[in-house]
Amino acid sequence: MKDIAIKGATTPPTFEQAKNRRQKARSAGMDPDYWYAVEYDLALKPGQVIEVIFWHTSIALYRGQDGQLRALDNRCAHRHLKLSLGQVDGNYLVCNYHGWAYNEAGELTRIPHELFNKPMPVCKLQIYPVQVRYGLIWIFPGNPTLAEKRQIPDIPELEGDNRWACVPLDFTWNAHHSMIIDNVSDFTHAHLHRQYRPFTDAKLTRCEQIGDRVYVDYNTKVGTGKVFGLFVDRKRVNTNAMKLCYEYPYQWSSTDNQIKHWCFLLPINSRKTRVFFLFYFDAIIVPFTSLRIPQWLMTYVLKIANPLLIKPLLSQDGVAVEAEQIGYETHLDAPIIEISPAVHLFQQLTIQKWEEHLAKSEKKALCQVEAKFSDC
Ligand code: FES
Ligand SMILES: [Fe+2]
State pLDDT tens for residues 114-127: 999 999 999 999 99
- Residue 156, domain member (yes or no): no
CA 292 to ligand 1 centroid distance, Å: 58
Same domain, 134 and 220: no
State pLDDT tens for residues 209-223: 999 999 999 999 988
State the pLDDT at residue 230. Answer: 80
CA 83 to ligand 1 centroid distance, Å: 9
Same domain, 139 and 180: no
Same domain, 141 and 243: no
For the chain, what percent of residues have pLDDT higher than 90? 78
Q: Do the beta carbons of residue 139 and residue 71 sit within 8 Å?
A: yes
Cα(272)–Cα(3) distance, integer angstroms: 8
- 85, 87, 98: residue to mutate for ligand 1 pocket, most atoms within 8 A of CB: 98
State the pLDDT at residue 376. Answer: 34
pLDDT range class, residue 153, cuts 50, 70, 90: very high
Same domain, 140 and 269: no
pTM for the model stands at 0.93
Same domain, 216 and 103: no
State the pLDDT at residue 224. Answer: 83
Atom from ligand 1 closest to the CA of residue 98: 3
Cα(7)–Cα(330) distance, integer angstroms: 8
| Distance of alpha carbon 88 from the chain centroid | 26
Residue 48, number of CB atoms within 10 A of its CB: 12
Shortest-distance ligand to the CA of residue 193 = 2
pLDDT range class, residue 364, cuts 50, 70, 90: confident
Which residue has the CA at smallest separation from atom 4 of ligand 1?
98
pLDDT range class, residue 363, cuts 50, 70, 90: confident
Same domain, 63 and 126: yes
Same domain, 87 and 190: no
**Count of structural domains, the chain:** 2
User: For residue 242, what are the domain limits?
Assistant: 165-350
Same domain, 281 and 189: yes
Does the pLDDT of residue 233 top 60, yes or no? yes
pLDDT range class, residue 6, cuts 50, 70, 90: low
CA 48 to ligand 1 centroid distance, Å: 19
pLDDT range class, residue 297, cuts 50, 70, 90: confident
Of the three residues 116, 145, 174, the one that is the final residue of a domain is 145
- ω into 249 cis (within 30 of 0): yes
Same domain, 190 and 138: no
Same domain, 115 and 201: no
Shortest-distance ligand to the CA of residue 275 = 2
Give 62's strand partners: 49, 70
- 49, 73, 74, 81: residue to mutate for ligand 1 pocket, most atoms within 8 A of CB: 81
Does the pLDDT of residue 4 top 60, yes or no? no
Does the pLDDT of residue 66 top 60, yes or no? yes
Does the pLDDT of residue 268 top 60, yes or no? yes
Does the pLDDT of residue 41 top 80, yes or no? yes
Q: Do the beta carbons of residue 240 and residue 219 sit within 8 Å?
A: yes
Of the three residues 96, 116, 145, the one that is the final residue of a domain is 145
Summary mean pLDDT of the chain: 93
Does the pLDDT of residue 3 top 70, yes or no? no
State the pLDDT at residue 9. Answer: 63
State the pLDDT at residue 120. Answer: 95
- Residue 126, domain member (yes or no): yes
State the pLDDT at residue 281. Answer: 86
- Residue 12, domain member (yes or no): no
Cα(320)–Cα(314) distance, integer angstroms: 10
Q: Is the CB of 123 under 6 A from ligand 1?
A: no
- 92, 95, 109, 125: residue to mutate for ligand 1 pocket, most atoms within 8 A of CB: 95
Which residue has the CA at smallest separation from atom 1 of ligand 1?
79
Residue 150, number of CB atoms within 10 A of its CB: 14
CA 136 to ligand 2 centroid distance, Å: 23
Cα(276)–Cα(288) distance, integer angstroms: 32
Q: How many CA atoms lie within 13 A of 187 on its CB side?
A: 24
Q: Do the beta carbons of residue 110 and residue 92 sit within 8 Å?
A: yes
pLDDT range class, residue 47, cuts 50, 70, 90: very high
CATH code, 51: 2.102.10.10
State the pLDDT at residue 290. Answer: 81
Rounded to 5 degrees, φ, ψ at 221 are -90, 115
Atom from ligand 1 closest to the CA of residue 111: 3
Same domain, 183 and 127: no
Give 73's strand partners: 59
Same domain, 67 and 179: no
Q: Which residue has the higher pLDDT, 321 or 295?
A: 321
Shortest-distance ligand to the CA of residue 125 = 1
State pLDDT tens for residues 338-350: 999 999 999 999 9
Three-state SS letters, the chain: CCCCCCCCCCCCCCCCCCCCHHHHHHHCCCCCCCCEEEEEHHHCCCCCEEEEEECCEEEEEEECCCCCEEEEECCCCCCCCCHHHCEEECCEEECCCCCCEECCCCEEEECCCCCCCCCCCCCECCEECEEEECCEEEECCCCHHHCCCCCCCCCHHHCCCCCCCCCCEEEEECCCHHHHHHHHHCHHHHHHHCCCCCEEEEEEEEEEEECCEEEEEEEEEECCCCCHHHHECCCCCCCCEEEEEEECCEEEEEECCCEEEEEEEEEEECCEEEEEEEEEECCEECCCCCCECCHHHHHHHHHHHHHHHHHHHHHHHHHHHHHHHHHHHHCCCCCCCCCCHHHHHHHHHHHHHHHHHHHHHHHHHHHHHHHHHHHC
